[in-house]
Amino acid sequence: MPVPTFDVPFVLGMMRLHETAEMHQPNHLADWIEARLEQGLHWFDHADIYGNGAGETLFGQALRARPALANRLSVVTKASIANDNPSPGSGKVKHYNASPAYLNRAIDDALNRLSVERIDHFLIHRPDLLMDAEATGRALDEAIEAGKIGAAGVSNHLASQWRRLQNAMHHPLRANQIELSIAHSAPLFDGSFDDLCADSHAPMAWSPLAGGRLMQGEIAHTLKRLANEHDSTPGAMALAWLRSLPNRPAPVVGSVKPERITDMLKGPESLPREAWYALLEAARGHCVA
């Protein structure tokens, strides 16, 4: 079975889905999903911690309300962050867990909550420093062979960490989700972006608008100017900046507002060099050497 690739202008991030009251109505969310599919956006990025399971649960309720949608879309989900935001005095400690027992349970729970037959990409959300790579690698291989996940991947890992895991696996790690934007370009300078390209991982860029900060200050000014020149919008230009990189990273956008999503589609596939470097310069406050 071919591993899915991100053949879309951007992936829809589901971290903020549960924050919008109307999205709690299954039919409203089903309409929203259908409208995105009509726009050619069929990849949705989840994690078990988004809304403490609420993001996946709401999405699954919408798919149960309109089952025909499930065959038209693809999902990414992530797990390994345990006891996220423990309440003070609960005695719980936030930690990372990539043990086979934890990940197997997370995969089964995500399949149930999302109401899909397969998770297209399952990512280890954060590196578990206590991971037994042999055991975790075997668990991920088995989940692929059981048809529960299409492919395994990582997020926020160092190359040395994912290579230790890969060395214990038969199946290749496929997707690799990192923080990357005009305002967070460090992976382009510290070798980590090159590392994931070298290993043929499909790059995904989380917080591609730096959580909205790109829409303020000097970068916003430059984005606006370039958007006018390219008959585009600032958000679309920021995503084109990412897609211009080698291996065409898939931006994972956070807004679920239809008008913003539509605006982000009004952009070029990639940027000419001078526009790309003008944005880098605006973010760093100086030109390249």
Ligand X SMILES: NC(=O)c1ccc[n+]([C@@H]2O[C@H](COP(=O)([O-])OP(=O)(O)OC[C@H]3O[C@@H](n4cnc5c(N)ncnc54)[C@H](OP(=O)(O)O)[C@@H]3O)[C@@H](O)[C@H]2O)c1
Interface with ligand X by CB under 6 A: which residues? 13-16, 45, 125, 155-156, 177, 206-212, 215, 235, 252-255, 257, 260
Minimum CB separation of residue 104 from ligand X in Å reads 21
Q: How far is the CB of 268 from ligand X (least distance, A)?
A: 17
**206 - beta bridge partners?**
179, 252
Minimum gap (Å) between residue 16 Cβ and ligand X:
6
Q: Which is nearer to ligand X, 155 or 166 (CB)?
A: 155
Q: Which residues contact 196 (CB under 8 A, 6 or more apart)?
A: 159, 176, 178, 203
With respect to ligand X, which residue has the nearer C-beta, 15 or 140? 15
Catalytic choice (50, 96, 102, 277): 50
Query: Rg of the chain's alpha carbons, rounded to an integer?
Result: 19
Centroid of chain to Cα 283: 22
Instruction: Note the Cα 90 to chain centre separation in Å.
Output: 30
Task: Rank residues 16 and 164 by Cβ distance to ligand X and give the closer one.
Answer: 16
Residue nearest to ligand X (CB): 254
Q: Which two tokens stand for residue 216?
A: 């303020």
Helix-helix angle 54-65:100-114, to 10 degrees: 40
- Cβ neighbors of 115 (< 8 A, separation 6 or more) are 59, 60, 61, 63, 64, 70
Three-state SS for 3-44 is CCCCCCCCEEECCCHHHCHHHHCHHHHHHHHHHHHHCCCCEE
Q: How far is the CB of 41 from ligand X (least distance, A)?
A: 13
Q: Answer yes or no: 50 catalytic.
A: yes
Report the nearest approach of ligand X to the CB of residue 289 (Å).
28
Q: Which is nearer to ligand X, 208 or 273 (CB)?
A: 208
Q: Which is nearer to ligand X, 15 or 283 (CB)?
A: 15
Q: Which residues contact 110 (CB under 8 A, 6 or more apart)?
A: 46, 48, 56, 77, 79, 119, 122
Positions marked catalytic: 50
